[in-house]
Every structure is written in C-alpha cells, then in structure tokens.
Amino acid sequence: MHDVTLCLNGDVHRIRVEARRTLLDAIREDCGATGTHAGCEHGVCGACTVLLDGEPVRSCLMFAVQADGRELRTVEGLAKDGVLHKLQQSFIDHHALQCGYCTPGFLMLAAGLIEADPDLSDAALIDGLSANLCRCTGYANIVAAVRAVLGRAPS
Amino acid sequence: MKPAAFEYHAPRTLEEAVAVLARVAPEEGRVLAGGQTLVPAMALRLARPGHLVDINGVAGLDRIDVADGVVRIGACVRHAAVDAPGPMGRLMALMKRHIAHGPIRARGTFCGSLANADAASEWCLLAVAMDARVEVRSARGARILAVDDLLLGSMMTTLEPDEMIVAARIRLLPERARVGFHEFARRAGDFAQVMAVAVLGDDGPRLAIGSLEPRPRRLPEAEAALANDPVDLAAASRTAAAALLLPEEDAYLRALAETSVRRALEAAA
C-alpha cells in the first residue's frame, strides 16, 4: 500500500492505496468525488478527463501513486460559491448534454483548452474536443457552448 | 476492468532505475513512462507486469538537447513537447498532431512509442525515415542501437527485459531540406491506416511508409525514382505502393498507400 497526497480542487486528501489503483478510482472511491465518471477505463472515451497541474489528462491512464503531491481539478471544482462556472452555464444554455455521462469530462477538457489558449481557433477547438466521446449530442451543441464562452457568435 | 496487482518502484536516478529493472525483469518488470499504451493494456489484462519501474521521477529524462546537428530526446519527453530546430521541428509538428488526442499527447512519450513498436506509430516512422539511434541502458552497461536494429516487427523490439531506452537521437535537417507528411486514419486521432514521410533536398531523398507492414521502412526503389530528372512524383508514388508487402493482394490499401506517398511528396516538393 502507498500513502498518497492528492490536492483535489484545493482540498488535501491523504489516502492509502494499492499501486494498481487508478487516479480515476482514487478520486471517486478514496476521495469521494464521484463527479468524474468512469467510462471505458482504457483511455478511449475521455469521460474521466481531469486537469493535472492545469492540463487535461485521462485519469484512468494514470495510477494514483503517480499523482502524489500534484494539483488536480475535477468538475466539482468548477462552480464557485453556488454559482456555476461559465462553461457549465453555457452547456445548459446550449443544450450541450443529454444523458450527461460524458459532461464532466467534456467540461474539464474544455476548461483546459480555453485556459491554455483563450484565443484558440475554431479548428483548434474542434480538434481539441475530438479527444472525448459523446453519444447523445452529435457534438455541435458542445462546440457551440464552448464557442459562446469564448465570446463568439453562433456559426 | 482494473489492472492486476503489481509492485511499484519510483527510482530517482538512472542508476537506481536500471538496478531495480535488473532485479524485477525476471518477474515481468516493465518500465512505466507515459503509460498511454501500457496502462490500457493492463486494464484489459493483456499485460500483467509484476512490477512497474516508474521513470517519471528520474531527473533529466524529460530533456531535449540539441548539439552537433543532432536532437536528443529523453525518455520522458511527452509527445506534445517533442520539438527540434529547423525543418526537423516542422516535420515533428506535422506528425505529432496525428498522435491520438491532446490528453494522450500530454502523457505519452516519444521513446515509449519506440519501445512499444506499434506498426502505426508516427514516431517509429520518423525514426526509421531519419535513421535515428537510441541510447539503451541496463545495469550491465550502455549501448547505442540504430533504430533498424531496435524494431523487429509489430510490438517487437530487440530490447532485453532489463534494458530501457534512455534517449533517441535524430539528425537535424539543413535549412534547405523540405519535409512532408501524410496520414490516412478513419477518424481524427485514430490509428493510421497508412502514413508516409518524405524529406527532399537533403543529402538524398528519404521516403518511408508506416502502418501497412509490421514495421515502418524506407522504400529504396521509390527513393531511386525520385533521383530522376525531371522528378515524376506520381511515378515514384506508384513505385512505392508497388513495393509494399501486403498480407494479401489488397488493391484498396495499395491505392491508399500510393495516394498517401504522393501527398507527402507533394507537400515536400
């Protein structure tokens, strides 16, 4: 067993895990933050995307021991003082989700993309969002929601 | 599924890493760098290493060094960070956006791709096209391998169980060199069906193709055709496609290869 300290949305979690515990399972089972969803669990779908030191990564493709001392952000960290993050509000406004299973992953992916480059082009946005799978929306409304946050008119 | 149990090791120096690897190699010990292929294989229980030697904490392995006309890419340099001066950097940039997606490129490594030896690996193709060399270390010593002596076939290399790649070395291209890359994949970010690299205006034309055969290779017949004056890119592309050893006679894949080669050549011309 390994003692691991995760800094999750600003809160310090000291957990004890097996080496084989994925970061995804540690976030959900050991830290109790179940907003991050387990989809395919082998790196294809992106439902488990979290920000690791500000960068989107698949939390199912890392072991929790590897994230010791690192800064993690998940969907629970987006809203502040009961006010939704602008991406969350925009997803609602643009009907960018239906079943919602992929949404936490898409929100963290989009947050990472726009924080890294607030001026990213439409082409770069679409390329970036292609990392994750959504089986409900057909993606158009997800793209529209993120474009709106970037201050762009509907295309 | 969840990975099977394993013992985790986090060495801080290269000496420590190869010492641990030597000790655990007989029990299916494996090196963990980016983990973007190994961890899914473990989740699917296709891989059940008894030990993982995580080299992410080894100082200096995340460095890119440029000296004497060679770029040296350390074992923990992520796909997203791969870079070099001049035309080589431009070629790397063209290729890396085809490697899976952003979150994968943030973790997976250049040298890990070489060690994994997937037939559809962009970096294996680049390494073969440029006659790259890899620095290999074990507790027994160090050796430098030409990439042609590293890659045996699909997912097979000549690395011994106690050896790890420390860095890859690729010769830089002169400013006059022109580069081209083309890839066909069913979806953006998916594995390549076929891909081609062309380098013109260097010491001689370089043309290499990946994904259709068990490992990437240069195509000397087509490179020779490119030396003709005037250059006929379409004819060279046909020669390249005709030289491929496909598992069965597959007109579609051969046509795809011809188009991919032609587009890579046109981009470089």
- The CA distance from B179 to B197, in Å, is 8
What CATH architecture applies to the domain B64-171? 2-Layer Sandwich (3.30)
- For an interface test with B, the pick among A16, A60, A66, A146 (most B C-beta atoms closer than 10 Å) comes out as A66
Name the CATH topology of B7-54. Answer: 3.30.43
| A63 close contact with B: CB closer than 8 A | yes
Q: What pTM did the predictor assign? A: 0.96
| A19 close contact with B: CB closer than 8 A | yes
- The top-level CATH class assigned to A86-149 is mainly alpha
What share of chain A in percent tops pLDDT 70? 100
What share of chain A in percent tops pLDDT 90? 97
**Contact flag B56-A131 (C-beta cutoff 8 Å):** no
Positions of chain B with pLDDT under 70: 248
Please provide the average confidence, as pLDDT, over all residues in chain A.
97
Query: Residue B193: what are its φ and ψ, rounded to 5°?
Result: -80, -40
| A105 close contact with B: CB closer than 8 A | no
CB neighbour class for A59 (10 Å; exposed up to 12, middle 13-18, buried from 19): buried
In CATH, what number does B178-268 get?
3.30.390.50
- Ranges in chain B annotated CATH 3.30.465.10: 64-171
**Contact flag A43-B101 (C-beta cutoff 8 Å):** no
First-last CA distance in chain A: 52
- Ranges in chain B annotated CATH 3.30.390.50: 178-268
Name residues whose C-beta falls within 8 Å of residue B244's C-beta, 6 or more positions apart in sequence: B209, B212, B213, B254, B257
CB neighbour class for A71 (10 Å; exposed up to 12, middle 13-18, buried from 19): middle
pLDDT (0 to 100) of residue B203: 85
Question: Are A22 and A32 within 8 A, CB to CB?
Answer: no
- The CA distance from B105 to B85, in Å, is 20
Over 70: is that where the pLDDT of A15 sits?
yes
In this prediction, residue A155 has a pLDDT band, given cuts at 50, 70 and 90, of confident
pLDDT tens-digit series, residues B71-118: 999 999 999 999 999 999 999 999 999 999 999 999 999 999 999 999
Residue closest to B139 by CA, chosen among B254, B19, B233: B19
Among candidates B44, B187, B188 on the partner chain, residue whose Cβ is nearest the Cβ of A42: B44
- Ranges in chain A annotated CATH 3.10.20.30: 2-77
Name the CATH topology of A2-77. Answer: Ubiquitin-like (UB roll) (3.10.20)
Q: What is the ipTM of this complex?
A: 0.95
